[in-house]
Amino acid sequence: MKPITSDTEARPAELQIRLKRRAFLKRLLGATAALLGGNFLAACGNTVREDATVTSPMASPTAAPSPAPTSTPTPPPTETPRPTPTELPWVYPNGPSKLGLHTVSPNGAFPFVRSVTEAGGRIRLMKAVGNFGILREVKSVSPQTVTIGRWPYVEAVDISGDPAQAAERVLRQHMEAWQYERDVVDYWEVLNEVDPGSPEGHVWLARFYWAAMELAEAQGYRLALFSYSTGVPEWADWAAIVETGIFARAAQGGHILALHEYDWPFLRLHWGGSLPGQPIYDPDRGVLAGRYRHLYRDFLIPRGEVIPLAITECGLDPGVGGQEPDFPWQRHWLKELAWYDSKLVEDDYVIGAAIFTLGGTDSRYFDYENLLPDLREYLLRLKDL
């Protein structure tokens, strides 16, 4: 069968622009609504009026000159309207859910975790940005929940110079902030969605993390590596990263991999596509959501270098681009996460996925505080599978 071509392969420049736009929107969440205000397509009509030539009934047929032929104007080309996205069916996982929470402001996160736990359920993953006190509360009622923290004040690095020196400079600042919650945070993210843009840049970043692991281990910390954005990196980048030996080194130190996965308006929208340069087509993976399978199936599993994976951000993100649905995102939010959950539970190396986000952002597209009761019901429905 001919491989399905993804948007990444068919229109690489367009998708890259969309993903860069998404990164920009995440840094300016308050402007999301304004930036997306014109993102609707209108259907164009294609009816062209033809003017008829009328001959006066008083004119003599033999005396009247023959009318010149009237040319029909050629209508301008019109873009074929794309159908408005419609809702997709429910797909449930065949085991307990791997969905968890991402928090900027804790809000109702702790009561939610306590309620799920008291009912016999389990929250697989919990991530906090900046406000780490919520992780202490979570561990008090659910010690088996994997906790990840990210200190948001140093989250980027200049891809130049000596990566070991850069790691020492960055880790020194991070570990000063980590020390107060070191007993309740299992893994720490260092950077956030850094994209070097080339295989050489990604190799530099791998060496940065190699040095960071050594520094962290000396102080008793474990890291969640890379924290790449949705759609990053490319297949050739992963090939270069893997050759550094970074994953075998991470396994030795008990570290994990962190990735972010989003899509819009459906998480399953780009499922089944291939990546540029990928030599073997496998429809059972995604271009955006489920992109992690390219790394694990093509590289880490064959090499015996599998390390645990945490999806530390996931969800529906209009910054990715795509057609606006004709219904509120809240109506199919849980349905799309359930589909994504069904893929996560198939992979035993996946710890879980933290849904972005509670608190601290534009509630129009991200804050799902009001949907926590639905999420609770969903988690408890699956707890005994």
Mean pLDDT lowest among 15-29, 39-53, 113-127 = 39-53
pLDDT at residue 80 in the model: 44
Mean pLDDT lowest among 29-33, 70-74, 81-85, 179-183 = 29-33
Mean pLDDT over 37-49 rounds to 31
Among 11-20, 80-89, 313-322, top mean pLDDT goes to 313-322
Q: Is the predicted pLDDT of residue 184 greater than 50, yes or no?
A: yes
The percentage of the chain sitting over the pLDDT mark of 90, rounded to a whole number, equals 70
pLDDT at residue 143 in the model: 98
Strand partners, 125: 146
pLDDT at residue 59 in the model: 35
Q: Is the predicted pLDDT of residue 264 greater than 90, yes or no?
A: yes
Mean pLDDT over 216-238 rounds to 98
Domains of the chain (ranges, CATH numbers):
95-382 (3.20.20.80)
pLDDT at residue 333 in the model: 95
The percentage of the chain sitting over the pLDDT mark of 70, rounded to a whole number, equals 77
Taking alpha carbons only, the member of 192, 231, 258, 190 closest to residue 319 is: 231
3 burial via Cβ count (<10 Å: 0-12, 13-18, 19+): middle
Confidence class for position 15, pLDDT limits 50, 70, 90: low
Whether pTM exceeds 0.85:
no
Taking alpha carbons only, the member of 376, 344, 296, 349 closest to residue 95 is: 344
Taking alpha carbons only, the member of 104, 138, 107 closest to residue 123 is: 138
Confidence class for position 161, pLDDT limits 50, 70, 90: very high
Provide the mean pLDDT of the chain: 83
| pLDDT, tens only, 276-325 | 999 889 999 999 999 999 999 999 999 999 999 999 999 999 999 888 88
Token pair belonging to 348: 């035993």
pLDDT at residue 280 in the model: 87
Mean pLDDT over 80-106 rounds to 84
| pLDDT, tens only, 358-384 | 987 666 788 999 999 999 999 999 999
pLDDT at residue 87 in the model: 76
Token pair belonging to 300: 């880490």
Mean pLDDT over 244-267 rounds to 98
pLDDT at residue 16 in the model: 53
- Residue 129 has, within 13 A of its CA and on its CB side, a CA count of 21
d(CA 302, CA 21): 35
Among 36-45, 64-73, 291-300, top mean pLDDT goes to 291-300
